Amino acid sequence: MASTTRALRRIQKEIADLNANPVDGVSYEPAEDNLFNWKCSIKGASDSPYKGGTFHFKLVIPEDYPFKPPAVTFTTKIYHPGINEEGSICVPILRDQWKPSITLATVLSVIQEKVNNPSADDPFEPEIAAQLKNDKAAFLATARDWTKKHA
């Protein structure tokens, strides 16, 4: 229970920090009855293949936060080498590079950066990564098409 209380205090402080210094292009809404569950969204950047899209994801903060990273699941389909069909995103700070000093604002910024700058390195979807590497025009066309259809 003490770790949950500690986590809640940290989350409340981070919400206040986020409200004071929002991450541009990212919105978040903690559930009214549970600050550990957030609904979030990212707007596609104007210089990305996701321009005009809004991509929704869930952020679930563990009760032993900040010692464990939040879990992120995209609920909007996206054609991206770093996000798989189940909506999981491949971001090192949410896995083996997590540190308790990382804030939720940093997590949101890193997710936004990853979404808007698809890379063939460290992919969750090797086929999409190969297409990005070998036929960028086809990748961009498909990413734009999915954005129109799903986001």
Q: Which residue has the tokens 């809404």?
A: 29
Question: What spatial distance separates the first Cα and last Cα of the chain, rounded to whole Å?
Answer: 39
40 is a catalytic site residue: no
The residue annotated as part of the active site, out of 40, 89, 90, 143, is 90
What is d(CA 126, CA 43) in angstroms, rounded to the nearest whole number?
24
- What separation in angstroms does the CA of 34 have from each of 29, 83, 145? 11, 26, 35
Please confirm whether the linkage preceding 62 is cis (ω < 30° from 0). no
Tell me which residue of 39, 36, 33 sits closest to 56, measured CA to CA.
39
Q: Give the β-pairing of 34-43 and 71-74.
A: unpaired
| Residues assigned a catalytic role | 90
